[in-house]
Structure formats: C-alpha cells, structure tokens
Amino acid sequence: MKPGVYVHIPFCEQRCYYCAFTVAVAPQRAYEPYVRRLLHEIELSEFRQEPETIFFGGGTPSIINGELIENIIAAFPRGAAEISIEVNPGTLDDEKIERYSSAGVNRISLGAQSFHDEDLKNAGRLHNAVDVLHDIDRLRQRGFRNISIDLIAGLPNQRREVWNKNLDYIERLLPEHISIYMLDVEERSAWGQHRNDVPGDDVFATFYMDAAERLAKAGYIHYEISNWARPGFECRHNLKYWTGVPYRGFGVSAHSFSGSHRYWNTTSLAEYARMLDAGKLPISGQEQLTREMRLEEAFLIGLRRTSGLDIWTVAADLEIEYPQGWFERVCELEDAGWVQFDGKYVRLTTAGCLLANGVTEELLWPNLLLT
C-alpha cells in the first residue's frame, strides 16, 4: 500500500487559548526560509515513493503563500489521490485557492470550531462564523468537492442550544466530512494554566450524543470516534494512521512510521534550522515497536474505528491466545452497553466512544502477551 505524507507548517497568527500543538507565532519573513529547509529535508530523506495522500497540518498551513504549498507538493512524485490542507477561516484569498487547485489539493479542512462568535472570541480565534460561510462559498465556486469542518464541543460556558445551533449549520452546509473534538484542556495551553469553567463529563456526553444522532439522520457515516463523513469521503490520510499503514512526516515536530519503527523530528524551530543547515535530518527521537507496544496500538486504533477491532487478525499477527476470562470481560462490557462483539469484531457503541480509553484498558488487561 502506498504511504501517506504529512507536512507540518507551524506558523499561526496568534495562539488560540486551548491549543497545545507545536506552533510558532512568527513574522511572515520566517515562512520562506522554513519552507526552503523543509524542501531540503525532503531531499535529504531520500523519500522517493509516490504517496497516496499528502496532508498539510499545523499550525496554519493556509497562512503561507500558495506558491510555497505548490513547491512542497512538487517535491513529491505526482499522483497522490488525496491532498488535504488545514485552512483557518479568513486566511484564504483567490490566489491561494487557485494555486491549491492547480497543485492538486482536493480536500480542504476548515477549522470552524464553532459558529457562535462569542465562543470564537473567548477561545482567542481570529475569525467569525461568517468567514467560514464565505470561505465555503468561494471554495465551492472554485470546484472544491471535498470540504471538512472541525468543531470543538464543550468550549467554556457553551450551552446545549448553542452546540445544537452548530449542528444546524452543519445540516445546512452539508460538508463532506466533519471532525468533532471534545475540548481537551492541556497544561501546555493558555487555558491549562488558569481555566476552570470547562464543562463536566455529562455535558460532553450530551453534546456527543446529540451530534451522533443528528449527523446519522443527516446521512453521515460515523467512521471513527471523532469523525463523520458522507459515504466515500472518509479521510484517506487519517485512515492510514488508524490502520497501521506507513507514513512519512516532514517539518518541525512531524512523526514518521515505517510499520515497525517510529521516529520524530525536533519540536524546536531553531534546532530544526540548525540541523538542516548542517546537512543532517532533524530527527530527535526514535523507537522500535515492541510486541507489547504493537498490541496496545492495535487495540487503541482498532477500537477508534467504528468498523471495529478484528481480534483474530491481531491474534495471528502477534501470536496471542485470548483466555476464557477475556471473552467474559467482553460480555460484561457488552452488557454494560459499551461494546458490541460478533465473534470477530469488537466495536465501541456510541456511548462506548465516550469511554474509549477505559474500555481499551479493560480489554488489554490482564496482559494478553503472557497467555
């Protein structure tokens, strides 16, 4: 299977209060030298395979010139079936849209987060709801047929009716794909330092169940814990992460995976520049996956997909046998309404998706590798 390529563009105009990603609020003059080094990294890597997917993530890939995005795409063999770019509402212009289109970008992921301006302002976003509507209009006019929208559920003080208004917008706009993330307040974010009015688990649960119900009615397939798509519009790039297919990441903080070996780039922009200027790949860490890590990952990513975890494929790959007590545990989880099991696939129910980590831990314990 052809690999996926991830390209990290770390620049943002401002750091949103909830964000803990590797981002840099840097002047525009920093963009071109970064891309020059990124192209050097691609060259040094000797990665010459034709990728099936290319994903520009950030940071805000849409704040750099369209021409720089074109140059990066041109550094890979042609023929990728899916080229996605994360776009912050309000950062597009006609020239960028034109260049994306001619370079083969065919999937746009718009970080709407909410359609309620007060939510956006409180979260430190620089756009308004109307910018999202405007961007979608322009993209549709230019022929983009695969648009994804990101929403964050449970922003501070978000009421259920406000959340449901967001879902009204989705039903009106009918994007091909939707990602819904529960607000995660990480210590490294601004809110991680002082915010304490984040909704409780019961609120997250209500918002998630509202979304699952309404999106199913609107014809979306819930294919991964946080992702819904119209049939045929599942994100091919992200599916690679969730099925264990190799991918190669370029740019500061990007991760790569060979199938058995994982390595990652430095998270420091200065170090990234220093290493590349010295003619070295900016890799700062690596690990060989042990059997235990492979088992944990197979369960973690298998359960994230709503198609479920094929327990017999995992057993054959990792040479494990499930003891009787394991099946009894699956039955208990099934009785509690968290999973479904048909003898081959274990699947999380919608309610189980809210407890995915706990259910995964339950199924991994006691250590199956000792059986």
Name the site residues for ligand SF4 (rule: CB under 6 A). 12, 15-16, 19, 21, 23, 58-60, 88, 111
Among 18, 76, 247, 338, binds ligand SAM (CB under 6 A): 18
Among 32, 150, 334, 362, binds ligand SAM (CB under 6 A): 150
Q: Which of residues 191-250 bind ligand SAM (CB under 6 A)?
A: none
Residue closer to ligand SF4, measured from CB, 235 or 368:
235
d(CA 265, CA 285): 7
Q: Using CA atoms in the order 274, 276, 280, 281, what is the torsion angle rounded to 10 degrees? A: 110
Instruction: Determine, following the binding rule CB under 6 A, whether residue 64 of this chain makes contact with ligand SAM.
Output: no
Choices 177-185, 247-255, 338-346, 350-358 (CB under 6 A): range interacting with ligand SAM: 177-185
Residue closer to ligand SAM, measured from CB, 88 or 238:
88
Residue closer to ligand SF4, measured from CB, 39 or 190:
190
Residue closer to ligand SF4, measured from CB, 22 or 53:
22
Residue closer to ligand SF4, measured from CB, 152 or 225:
152
d(CA 362, CA 339): 12
Q: What is the CA radius of gyration of the chain?
A: 21
Residue 109, phi then psi, degrees to nearest 5: -110, 110
Locate 226 and state its tokens.
């946080």
d(CA 223, CA 232): 11
Choices 18-26, 245-253, 301-309, 316-324 (CB under 6 A): range interacting with ligand SAM: 18-26
* Nearest alpha carbon to residue 22 among 353, 367, 270, 295: 270
CA distances, 27 to each of 31, 96, 164, 211 (Å): 8, 19, 38, 38
**Which one of ligand SAM, ligand SF4, none interacts with residue 183, CB within 5 to 8 A by kind?**
ligand SAM
Site mask, ligand SAM, residues 81-120, x = CB under 6 A?
-----x-x----------------------x-x-------
Residue 245, helix vs strand vs coil? coil
Instruction: Determine, following the binding rule CB under 6 A, whether residue 190 of this chain makes contact with ligand SAM.
Output: no
Residue closer to ligand SAM, measured from CB, 124 or 362:
124
**Which one of ligand SF4, ligand SAM, none interacts with residue 184, CB within 5 to 8 A by kind?**
ligand SAM
Among 69, 149, 178, 183, binds ligand SAM (CB under 6 A): 183
Choices 137-145, 182-190, 227-235, 324-332 (CB under 6 A): range interacting with ligand SAM: 182-190
DSSP result, 348-363: E-HHHHTTHHHHHHHH
**108 in Cβ contact with 144 (< 8 Å):** yes
Site mask, ligand SAM, residues 27-46, x = CB under 6 A?
--------------------
Instruction: Determine, following the binding rule CB under 6 A, whether residue 57 of this chain makes contact with ligand SAM.
Output: yes
**DSSP single-letter state for residue 221:** E
**Ordered strands of the 147-153 beta sheet:** 221-224, 227-229, 177-182, 147-153, 107-113, 82-87, 53-58, 4-9, 247-250, 255-257, 261-265, 283-288
Residue closer to ligand SAM, measured from CB, 169 or 326:
169
Tell me the helix, strand and coil percentages in the chain, rounded to 5.
45, 20, 35
d(CA 263, CA 283): 7
Q: Which residue is nearest to ligand SAM (CB)?
A: 111
Q: Which residue has the tokens 């322009």?
A: 138
Choices 47-55, 176-184, 195-203, 342-350 (CB under 6 A): range interacting with ligand SAM: 176-184
State the residues that interact with ligand SAM by CB under 6 A.
18-19, 21, 57-58, 60, 86, 88, 111, 113, 150, 152, 181, 183-184, 186
